[in-house]
Each structure stands twice: as structure tokens, then as C-alpha cells.
């Protein structure tokens, strides 16, 4: 019987090739989107889930109460990893210090540099115990060698890159930021789904200052401490012990400071506490992507339901005959489910064909290593089978019910009215549903694009156009060349200003601290952003001074500039009142406030203004900020490259334009906006595909009516309107539902940013009108053809 | 074989109530060939639908092969129908997507006959109605007469006790019409009971008995000699 159903199904689908094609294309695209999103989520949600002890691995995080809120940061006090070994013997711990943009030099046997690399990814300094906590396999050598300073384990990929063949790499040396490191062993390449992904693991003891530090007060987001708890230990108990440990060792501990534990399986998904990749896959993102996948699949299923029920009228006779010949409702439903299955199976194959090139492309867009091997994972294949079953159930259910309930007598006599053939109201409802989803996505996409464009154009309070940032090596020899470099850079044609600083006004790396103001007994409870910068900083970045004067040239901390928010935070209304007052940081760096600058955004526009302190401190300068003339930047850059290479021959020259760096703050939003654009376009395309199918069907059904109307004098425009009116009303209703929904959700999204656009009615109307115009064009393709047909032919054939 | 007593069927819309069958009583014996005639709207088709277990009466008794079926639900009716009754329609009602063979095979599929047995029985019946050479053609590729022969083959393939024919020659020319009537006569002679609704006096003459209806009632019965 099943064979007979499939045979009939195949012939019926073949007979209605156009509709079958629309259904297969629509469902194929819908399933492909689901498959791609599922694969992305599968990839993202599996981060660091492969460690066999994952339930017992935690990262120590710091909690600090600030203005009633608890601020969490991933930094652990520097001495903590060392102390834990003595104070908590059952707990395995490892300090993890992350370095980025590391300079690597490979020397030949005579000590001459032969290869230079700038490692864009992370380099981790870890203790041997790191490899007892995490499941990262060592291929050659022994991780215990990392107990010695200046040793490293390299991944096969990195060892191949550095030394040609990983098999010969053990025992060889390389220079990391000038420090000679010996290769102690080789690791298998790390899986792509770990936040601790790196090809270079240097011994923790190589960073002498880390292992000897007794600074319990400072934390940095790149210094972490991981623990493997003994079985049966409650993480809350350990958190309390860690907080007690902090209190014991930290003299100036503030009320509310605490240590807590973050499960390793949370690191990738926590938007508040940073990980090492710079992107967090939050629950909200997972939900949004899942919802989009679900809705796009639903839109495709709706197309199927609409076209099937619209065609049901044509198949009523067949149903009548089958019923008369003894076919039960169940058998008839089974037959139509069979048809849906066949169609959905074709769509699934098409989805596979779409996904194979699309997945790596989407991976490129999202900067994720998504390759097609992920598609062969059993979970993905199982999900694909699940999608097929879901599509058959969702898309096949209603048409099967409608078709199987026909009364055979009425159906056979052709007395079934179009209304009684079922589904008119449902079809209208479903068209509205499709366009609600499509318009919500379009409005959402327009809002995201506008917000991104707002970020690009928003005045951050400093100049970021035509400013190039160049890194400076941190060794003392390089530091000594800074004044020479300044004069050389200034002499380059096309350079307007140059400034050396720890970071640009807004940067990825930030240094914050509390301080003592005006000889107060207590340090402030709040932290200020520290900007170590020379006296040219304000000029180079065009930061406005509103009171006092600029810094005098100095190599050390001598005096301070502060910003308006800093003054406000102190509770002072007149900016001039802070002038000549002392700031003392860690009681080691002291100086008077000599000027107040206008507020500028030291962080991304997700946050508002923060208190900023600027002071000279040459040993901490890591960047040159060079303002160029826009006329001939290419020549100036070439000269800078030559100068840098000549001054720092062991250093890989790499320039970064400030406006690009700032744009990169929103890289994740930018990438997602690219993805949402695709989804919105697809939702609209699928909805229009369904419309096209419905209008095509209408054109066939109403051919006689059109003929009569034309004979009676109706113009072609009137005929087009006849076809369009109903759908335009439905799209209008969809817009009325979609607009407030989209505004609600997008306002929620915008709340993540301190600076946000207002969702104007123009944006919403624009989205609504574009949806209507695209739909109208779709309808018109068929409607115009129907309107232009010769009425004599249609009437004669009737 | 069939005994209906005081059968009533009333169609109601919001404004109009139409009495299709008005306390109708008739009896058809096994092996009979009965023609039902009457003007349009007299209730012939309603009667045929009820006899074919496609519709249920509002009142009265309907005994089929000794079983009271008037109150049967749809599932029971479908089960009884597919095992005992074959249908021949004026407009053939073949399924366009199925070949001649597959159309005839359909009732056997619904009664759960095994594939090998189905093939044998379909071939036999196609041979009998002389359409074997067209077994792999689709209905649109056949003439009206050929299509009706396929429809007859489909009606008899399950070896039903009763064949209900609704204007079986209505869409055929006289030559093809006669052929179909000869076929029905042959089937009747082999023992199948036939009830045929027709407007054609010529076709009615093939039957043993003509029941003439008016306004949902039997007005006269002619025994053919």
C-alpha cells in the first residue's frame, strides 16, 4: 500500500511541477537554515564540554560590590595559584596568564633571526597542573617540564610553522617577546571548541613577576586561576574558603570583595565575565538564533500548507473516488502524509546541497571555524532526521485533515465549493503569520544596521579618523628608542601628530584602579580608567581640555589629567575645584591634577562615560598613535613601516587604524547583523515564494472570472488590483502586528547599549512599505500575465 | 438482498427543507437487475447514495444482506461497502494519476489483498472487459468508452454482491453505451445484483424491473418481460 501511496504522490507532485518546485525550494531553504543554525549552536554549545572532569573544573572569579551592584571579573589575585597549593592541598590549581600579539622570532644556529611571527591568537602561560585539570593531549615530551622557567609545549601546527617539522622541534628554542624559550614537548592540535585554544603553552614560572607577586589587591582579566575540585566537593564551600583566603592575605580588602567559582562550561556563555575569544554565546543569542530557525522553517511549512490546501479543491474528486472504493480517512491521510514525506525528503536533500557551500561561508561571516565535517556528526544527522519528521508533521497535518474530511458524494459531483474545500481562513491567517515574521525580521535587521551605523558615526569625544596605531616592544632597549622614534616619525611627510601611550583613548586593553584623592584616608570605592600617555596624547587624538593645562613632558608619573565624569563621580560640580588636588595610586604614583578634559568614550559605546585619569608613565607605553594627513596615507605608511622595521628589526610591523579598531568593538554585532540580513531576506523571499504560488493558483482558478470581467470592460490594472487587494490587506494586518512586536524586541536589544538610536516610525514604515512593495511585485508577476491574457481563449476553453 | 422500509432523507438549509426520500420502501432480491428512473430531483441519486452506503438515511430501515445498516457509522459503512458494493459512475471517476491497471487495483489495495493476488485478479478482469492492451495507459489516453470499461472493471474486481451504476452510459455514444450495458447484463447473468439509475428507456430495457420515482416516492414498478 505504501508503494502505491508513494507512486501516486510522485505522479501528483510531477503533475504540479511548479508548486512542487516552490515547496521543495522553500522547505529546502527552511531546513538548510535550521541545519546551519543547529550546526552553529551545536558547535558553540559544545565549548569545553569534552573535558572528562568538566563538572569539577572551575575558574576563580572576583566579585566586587560597587554602587550596590556586584561586578564580576575573571581576574584572580596574582599570588592565588601559588598559595592554593599550600592551603588547599586536595584542589588541583593552575594559574593561567594570557598574552596576545606576542612576537616570536626563530633564530638559526648562529643566533640570526630567520623567521618572525606575530601570534594573533592567545599564548598561555600555565603550570604543569593545567594538563591535569584539562584534557589536552601531549604527543611528545612531558608536561611536567613546564615546572621549569622558559619552557613551552607547542601544538603540532605551531611547531610545524616554527621549525618545519614538529618531530624535530623538541629541544629547539624560540624567542617570545625577546625571552628565549625552549620547546619541551609537542601537543596534539587543540580542538576548535575550547576557549583555551592556543598552540603555545609557556611555563607559568617564565613570568617571574607572576610567581613572586604578593599583590592580592590587583586583578587583571588576563590572569586567571583554574581549579579541579575533588569529587563530592561543593563549589560554594570552596568559594567561601577562597574569600576567606583573600581576606587573610589582603590588608586593604574592601567590604563586598569576594572570590567565586565559575564552571568551565559557563565560560563561553557568560556575557558579563569575559573569556579569551572576545565573543560570548549568551542564552539570549542562542534563543534568538533558535527562534529564527524555527520561524523560517515554519514559514516554509506554511507555504506548503497554503499551496496544498489551495490545490485541495482540484484533488477532491480523487479523494471522493478513493473513499467510495473503501479508502478510510486514515488511509487517505496516510497517502497525503506520504506525499508530504516525499516532498520533504527532496527538500532535505536540497537543504544538504545548500548547506555544504553555505556553512563554511556563514562560518567566514561569523569568524567561526565551521567546516562540513561538522555535518557528519551523529547529533547533526539525527537533528536533520528530526527536522524531516517535524516538517512532515507540521506541513502534512492540516492538508491531510482537510483532504480526508471531504464528503465523497459532494466531492464526486463537483459540488464542493471553494470555501467548503477548506482552509480559506486558515490560509489567510498563515499568510499574515508569514509576513509578521518576515516584517519583524526586516525591522529588526534595519534597527541593527542603523545602530551599527550610529556607532560608526557617533562622536566618541576623540578623533579616530586617519590615526594609525603601531605597537612598541615592551623591552627596555626598545623603550630607550622612543624619543629617537618620536623625532623620526614627526619628520615623515604626511604625519601630523604622534603620541605614545599605553593604549588609544578607547582600546581593547584597559587598566583600572581605585585611588586616594586629595589625601583622603580611604581609597575611592570606584575605579578610574588609567591612561598612561605622553603630553602629545590630547593633540594627537584631539581630546578637548576644558580646565587647567596639558601634562608637561615627563617619563614618570608626575601629574594628572582627569575627565568630567571623574569630577562628577567625586561629587564635585565645578571642574576647577579638582585642579591642584593630589591623586595617589597604590600610594606609589602620586601627582596633582593639572587639567580636566572633556568626556570621551574610553570604552565601547555599550557603556557610557567612565572616570578617566591620564598621566605620563613611559615604561608602560605600548602604542604609538600617529595622526596622518588623509591626502597620501599610503606613502606615509610605507615610510613608517621602513622606520619601524629599521628601529625594531626583531619586531613584526603591524598597523591598525583606530577607526577600524573601534569598529571591531562591535565585531560580534556586525557579524550577527550580516547573518540577520540573510535571514530577513530569506524570510521575505520564502513568504513571497508562497505568495507567488498562491497567486499562480488563483490565476488558474479564476481564469474564467478574469475573462468575463475583461469582456465586461475591466482594465488590466483592475484585474491586477483584484489579485493584489486581498494580499495587500493581509500584509497590512501583518504589519500592524509586526511593528509593535519588533519595536518591543529591538528596544530590549538596544538597552544593552549606553548609546542607542531611537526606533523611529520612519524606520518601521520603511520596513513595512518595502515588504508591501516586494510582495506587490511578486503578485504582479503573475497577476499582470493573467490580466493580459486574451479573454476569448479562457472563455472558449471553459 | 436489499430491503428498505419507510426510508426518509431530508436536506435542510437555513431557509429551505427538501424532502429527497419520503417514506420510500423497496426490495431488491439477489441476482436482480433493477433500473431506477424518474425526473431530476426525484431522489434517485439520494437513494443510490444510501444504497451504496455513502450516505445515511434520517429515518426508516435499510437491511443489506440480512443486516440492518441504517444506523451504521462511517467506518462500518466503509468496511461493508468495500467488500460488497461496486460503483459505476456517469463520469467514470478514474484517478488521473493512476494507470488503468492501478485504477482497477485500488479497491483490492483497500481490502488488503496481497500484491501477487491483486495482479492476477486485475489482469483477469481487464481481460474480461477487453482493455488489457491498455493496462499501462493513463485515463486521459483512453476514449470515453474505454474509460467506462475500466470503471466497470474496477467496480467488479472485488467480486461485489451488488453493483450500483449511476447513469453509466450518460457520457457515451450509443455504440459504447450498448457495450457497457452488455457488460452489465453479463455480470448480472453471472449472479451479480445490479441497481442502475438512468434516464434512458433504452438502457432500462436491459433490466428485469424498472422502479419509477417522483418526489421521493415510488410511483410505479414495471416488470420487464
- The dihedral sign for the CA sequence B104, B110, B111, B116: positive
Residue ranges covered by each domain of chain B: 2-223
Task: Give the pairing type, strands A151-155 and A179-187.
Answer: parallel
- Say whether pLDDT at A1 is over 70: no
Which class for A559: exposed (0-12), middle (13-18), buried (19 or more C-beta within 10 A)?
A: buried
Percentage of chain A surpassing pLDDT 90?
41
A378-404 helix and A283-312 helix, angle to the nearest 10 degrees: 30
- CA B128 to chain A, closest CA, distance in angstroms equals 20
Residues of B in contact with A327 (CB under 8 A): 78, 110
Residues in B touching A320 (Cβ below 8 Å): 93
Residue to substitute from B77, B93, B94, interface A, most A β-carbons within 10 A: B93
Q: Which of A321, A331, A409 sits opposite B95 (nearest CB)?
A: A321
pLDDT for residue A325: 86
Chain A residues within an 8 Å CB radius of B95: 8, 318, 321-322
A326/chain B closest Cα distance in angstroms: 5
- Asked if B97 and A325 come within 8 Å (Cβ–Cβ), the reply is no
Query: Which residues in A198-235 are b (16+ Cβ under 10 Å) and which e?
Result: bbbbbbbbbbeebbebeebbebbbbbbbbbbbeeeeeb
**Contact yes or no for B110 and A331 at CB 8 A:** yes
Residue A798 has a pLDDT of 40
A328 vs B contacts (CB less than 8 Å): 75, 78, 110
Reduced to 3 states (helix: H, G, I; strand: E, B; else coil), residue A149 is coil
Q: With contacts defined as CB-CB under 8 Å, which chain A residues touch B54?
A: 324, 408-409
Please spell the DSSP secondary structure of A201-247, one letter per residue: EEEGGGSHHHHH----S---TTEEEEEEPPTT--HHHHHHHHHHHHH
Q: Do A320 and B82 touch (CB under 8 A)?
A: no
Tell me: pLDDT of A201 over 60. Answer: yes
d(CA A317, CA A412): 5
Please report where in the chains the cell 633571526 appears, as a residue: A113
Mutate to test the interface with B, among A326, A331, A335, A420 (most CBs of B within 10 A): A326
Is A22's pLDDT higher than 80?
yes
CB contact under 8 Å between B49 and A325, yes or no, is no
Contacts of A601 (CB under 8 A, 6+ apart): A460, A461, A462, A505, A506, A607, A609
In chain A, what residues touch B152 (CB-CB under 8 Å)? none
A11/B97 touch (CB, cutoff 8 Å), yes or no: yes
CB contact under 8 A, B106 and A328: no
Which residues of chain B neighbour A15 with C-beta distances below 8 Å?
96-97
Between strands A545-548 and A559-563, the pairing is unpaired
Q: Which of B55, B78, B97 sits opposite A328 (nearest CB)?
A: B78
Tell if the CB–CB gap between A328 and B81 is shorter than 8 Å: no
Is B111 in Cβ contact with A326 (below 8 Å)? yes
pLDDT given for residue B41 in this prediction: 86
Nearest by CB to residue B54, choosing from A7, A11, A409, is A409
**pLDDT number for residue A602:** 92
pLDDT above 50 for A132: yes
Residue B96: list chain A partners with CB under 8 A.
Answer: 15, 318
B40 or B221, higher pLDDT: B40
The count of other CB atoms within 10 Å of the CB of residue A786 is 24
Exposure pattern of A322-338 as b/e (b: 16+ CB <10 Å)? bbbbbbbbebbbbbbbb
Q: How far is CA A246 from CA A68, A184, A223, A239, in A?
A: 21, 34, 16, 10
Q: Where does residue A60 fall: left (phi above 0), alpha (psi -120 to 50 degrees), or beta otherwise?
A: beta
- CATH H-level superfamily of B2-223: P-loop containing nucleotide triphosphate hydrolases (3.40.50.300)
Q: How many CB atoms lie within 10 A of CB A711?
A: 12
Using CA coordinates, name the residue in chain B closest to A331.
B110
Tens digits of residue pLDDT in A444-501: 888 988 888 888 888 999 999 999 999 888 777 777 888 888 999 999 999 999 999 9
Q: How far is B223 from chain A (nearest CA, A)?
A: 30
How close A6 comes to chain B (CA, Å)? 12
- Of A146-155, A221-230, B76-85, B126-135, the poorest mean pLDDT is in B76-85
Burial (CB count <10 Å: 0-12, 13-18, 19+), residue A717: exposed
Q: How confident is the model at residue A421 (pLDDT cuts 50, 70, 90)?
A: low
Q: Crossing angle, helix A378-404 and helix A329-366, to 10 degrees? A: 140
Taking CA–CA distances from B154, the nearest residue in chain A reads A325
**pTM (two decimals):** 0.79
Out of A15, A322, A324, closest to residue B54 by CB: A324
Cross-chain residue pair A7–B102, CB shorter than 8 Å = yes
Mean predicted lDDT score pLDDT of chain A: 87
Grid look-up 426520500 returns B21
- CB spacing of B87 vs A325 below 8 angstroms: yes
Asked whether residue A734 carries a pLDDT value surpassing 60, the answer given is yes
pLDDT of A409 strictly over 90:
no
CA distance B224 to chain A (A): 31
Average pLDDT of A620-636?
A: 90
Chains A–B, number of C-beta pairs less than 8 Å apart: 58
The arithmetic mean of pLDDT across residues A513-536, rounded, is 89
Q: What does the angle CA A202 – CA A204 – CA A210 come to, to the nearest 5 degrees?
A: 135
Identify which has the larger pLDDT, A718 or A253: A718
Among B79, B89, B97, whose Cβ lies nearest the Cβ of A8? B97
Q: Which three three-digit cell numbers place residue A131?
A: 594538563
Q: What is the pLDDT of residues A324-333, one digit of tens each?
A: 888 888 888 8
Amino acid at each position: 500500500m505504501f508503494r502505491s501511496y508513494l507512486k501516486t504522490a510522485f505522479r501528483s507532485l510531477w503533475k504540479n511541477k511548479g508548486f512542487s518546485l516552490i515547496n521543495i525550494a522553500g522547505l529546502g531553504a527552511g531546513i538548510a537554515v535550521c541545519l546551519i543554525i543547529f550546526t552553529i549552536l551545536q558547535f558553540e554549545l559544545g565549548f569545553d564540554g569534552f573535558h572528562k572532569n568538566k563538572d569539577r573544573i572551575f575558574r576563580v572569579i572576583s566579585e566586587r560590590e560597587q554602587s550596590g551592584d556586584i561586578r564580576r571579573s575573571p581576574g584572580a589575585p596574582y599570588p592565588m595559584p601559588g598559595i592554593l597549593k599550600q592551603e588547599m592541598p586536595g584542589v588541583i590549581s593552575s594559574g593561567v596568564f594570557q598574552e596576545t600579539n606576542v612576537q616570536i622570532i626563530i633564530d638559526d644556529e648562529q643566533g640570526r633571526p630567520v623567521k618572525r611571527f606575530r601570534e594573533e591568537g592567545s599564548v598561555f602561560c600555565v603550570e604543569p597542573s593545567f594538563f591535569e585539570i584539562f584534557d589536552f593531549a601531549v604527543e611528545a615530551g612531558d608536561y611536567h617540564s613546564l615546572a621549569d622557567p622558559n619552557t613551552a609545549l607547542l601544538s603540532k601546527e605551531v611547531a610545524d610553522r616554527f621549525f618545519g617539522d614538529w618531530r624535530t622541534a623538541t629541544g629547539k628554542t624560540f624567542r617570545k617577546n625577546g625571552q628565549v624559550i625552549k620547546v619541551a614537548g609537542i601537543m596534539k592540535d587543540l580542538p576548535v571548541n575550547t576557549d583555551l585554544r592556543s598552540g603555545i603553552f609557556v611555563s607559568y614560572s617564565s613570568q617571574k613577576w607572576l610567581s613572586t607577586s604578593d599583590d592580592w589587591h590587583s586583578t587583571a582579566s588576563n590572569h586567571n586561576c583554574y581549579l579541579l575540585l575533588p569529587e563530592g566537593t561543593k563549589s560554594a564551600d570552596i568559594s567561601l574558603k577562597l574569600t576567606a583566603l583573600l581576606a587573610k592575605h589582603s590588608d586593604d580588602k574592601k567590604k563586598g570583595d569576594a572570590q567565586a567559582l565559575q564552571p568551565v562550561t559557563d565560560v563561553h556563555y557568560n556575557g558579563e565575565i569575559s573569556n579569551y575569544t572576545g565573543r560570548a554565546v549568551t542564552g539570549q543569542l542562542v534563543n534568538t538564533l533558535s527562534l529564527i530557525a524555527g520561524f523560517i522553517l515554519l514559514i516554509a511549512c506554511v507555504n506548503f500548507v497554503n499551496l496544498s490546501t489551495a490545490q485541495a479543491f482540484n484533488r477532491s474528486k480523487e479523494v471522493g473516488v478513493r473513499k467510495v472504493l473503501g479508502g478510510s480517512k486514515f488511509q487517505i491521510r496516510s497517502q497525503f502524509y506520504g506525499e508530504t514525506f516525499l516532498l520533504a525528503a527532496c527538500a532535505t536533500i536540497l537543504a544538504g546541497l545548500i548547506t555544504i557551500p553555505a556553512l563554511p561561508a556563514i562560518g567566514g561571516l561569523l569568524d567561526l571555524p565551521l567546516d562540513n565535517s561538522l555535518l557528519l556528526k551523529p547529533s547533526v544527522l539525527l537533528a536533520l532526521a528530526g527536522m524531516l519528521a517535524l516538517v512532515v508533521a507540521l506541513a502534512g497535518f492540516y492538508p491531510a485533515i482537510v483532504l480526508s474530511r471531504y464528503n465523497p458524494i459532494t466531492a464526486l459531483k463537483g459540488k464542493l465549493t471553494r470555501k467548503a474545500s477548506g482552509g480559506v481562513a486558515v490560509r489567510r491567517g498563515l499568510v499574515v503569520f508569514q509576513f509578521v515574521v518576515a516584517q519583524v525580521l526586516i525591522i529588526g535587521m534595519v534597527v541593527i544596521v542603523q545602530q551599527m551605523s550610529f556607532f560608526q558615526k557617533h562622536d566618541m569625544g576623540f578623533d579616530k579618523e586617519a590615526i594609525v596605531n603601531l605597537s612598541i616592544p615592551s623591552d627596555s632597549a626598545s623603550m630607550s628608542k622612543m624619543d629617537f622614534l618620536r623625532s623620526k616619525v614627526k619628520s615623515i611627510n604626511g604625519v601630523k601628530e604622534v603620541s605614545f601611550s599605553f593604549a588609544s583613548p578607547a582600546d581593547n586593553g584597559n587598566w583600572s584602579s581605585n585611588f586616594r584623592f586629595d589625601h583622603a584616608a580611604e581609597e575611592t570605592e570606584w575605579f578610574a580608567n588609567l591612561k598612561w600617555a605622553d603630553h602629545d596624547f590630547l593633540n594627537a587624538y584631539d581630546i578637548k581640555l576644558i580646565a587647567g593645562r596639558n601634562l608637561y613632558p615627563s617619563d614618570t608619573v608626575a601629574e594628572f589629567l582627569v575627565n568630567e565624569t571623574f569630577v562628577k563621580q567625586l561629587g564635585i560640580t565645578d571642574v576647577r575645584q579638582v585642579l591642584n588636588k593630589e591623586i595617589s595610586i597604590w600610594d606609589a604614583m602620586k601627582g596633582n591634577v593639572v587639567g580636566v578634559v572633556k568626556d570621551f568614550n574610553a570604552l565601547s559605546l555599550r557603556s557610557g562615560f567612565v572616570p578617566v585619569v591620564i598621566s605620563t608613565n613611559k615604561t608602560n607605553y605600548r602604542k604609538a598613535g600617529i595622526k596622518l594627513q588623509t591626502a597620501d596615507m599610503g606613502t606615509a605608511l610605507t615610510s613608517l613601516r621602513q622606520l619601524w622595521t629599521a628601529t625594531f628589526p626583531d619586531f613584526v610591523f603591524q598597523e591598525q587604524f583606530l577607526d577600524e579598531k573601534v569598529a571591531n568593538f562591535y565585531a560580534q554585532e556586525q557579524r550577527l547583523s550580516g547573518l540577520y540580513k540573510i535571514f530577513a531576506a530569506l524570510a521575505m523571499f520564502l513568504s513571497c515564494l508562497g505568495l507567488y504560488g498562491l497567486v499562480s493558483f488563483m490565476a488558474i482558478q479564476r481564469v474564467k472570472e478574469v475573462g468575463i470581467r475583461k469582456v465586461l470592460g475591466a482594465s488590466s490594472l483592475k484585474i491586477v488590483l483584484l489579485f493584489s487587494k486581498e494580499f495587500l490587506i493581509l500584509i497590512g494586518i501583518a504589519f500592524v502586528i509586526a511593528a509593535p512586536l519588533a519595536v518591543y524586541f529591538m528596544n530590549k536589544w538596544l538597552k544593552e547599549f549606553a548609546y542607542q538610536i531611537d526606533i523611529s516610525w520612519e524606520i518601521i514604515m520603511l520596513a513595512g512599505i518595502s515588504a508591501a512593495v516586494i510582495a506587490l511585485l511578486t503578485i504582479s508577476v503573475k497577476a499582470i500575465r493573467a490580466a493580459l491574457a486574451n479573454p476569448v481563449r479562457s472563455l472558449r476553453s471553459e | 438482498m436489499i430491503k428498505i422500509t419507510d426510508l426518509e432523507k431530508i436536506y435542510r438549509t437555513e431557509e429551505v427543507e427538501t424532502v429527497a426520500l419520503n417514506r420510500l420502501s423497496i426490495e431488491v432480491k439477489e441476482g436482480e437487475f433493477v433500473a431506477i428512473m424518474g425526473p431530476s430531483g426525484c431522489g434517485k441519486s439520494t437513494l443510490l447514495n444510501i444504497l451504496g452506503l455513502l450516505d445515511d438515511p434520517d429515518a426508516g430501515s435499510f437491511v443489506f444482506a440480512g443486516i440492518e445498516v441504517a444506523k451504521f457509522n462511517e467506518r462500518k459503512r466503509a468496511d461493508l461497502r468495500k467488500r460488497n458494493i461496486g460503483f459505476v459512475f456517469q463520469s467514470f471517476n478514474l484517478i488521473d494519476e493512476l494507470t488503468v491497471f492501478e485504477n482497477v487495483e485500488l479497491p483490492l489495495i483497500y481490502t488488503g489483498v496481497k500484491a501477487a493476488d491483486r495482479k492476477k485478479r486485475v489482469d483477469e478482469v481487464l481481460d474480461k472487459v477487453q482493455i488489457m492492451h491498455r493496462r499501462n495507459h493513463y485515463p486521459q489516453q483512453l476514449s470515453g468508452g474505454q474509460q467506462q470499461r475500466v470503471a466497470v472493471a474496477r467496480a467488479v474486481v472485488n467480486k461485489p454482491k451488488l453493483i450500483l451504476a449511476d447513469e453509466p452510459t450518460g457520457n457515451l455514444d450509443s455504440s459504447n453505451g450498448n457495450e457497457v450495458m452488455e457488460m452489465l447484463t453479463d455480470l448480472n447473468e453471472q449472479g451479480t445484483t445490479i441497481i442502475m439509475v438512468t434516464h434512458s428507456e433504452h438502457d432500462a430495457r436491459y433490466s428485469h424491473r424498472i422502479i419509477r420515482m417522483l418526489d421521493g416516492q415510488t410511483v410505479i414498478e414495471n416488470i420487464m418481460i
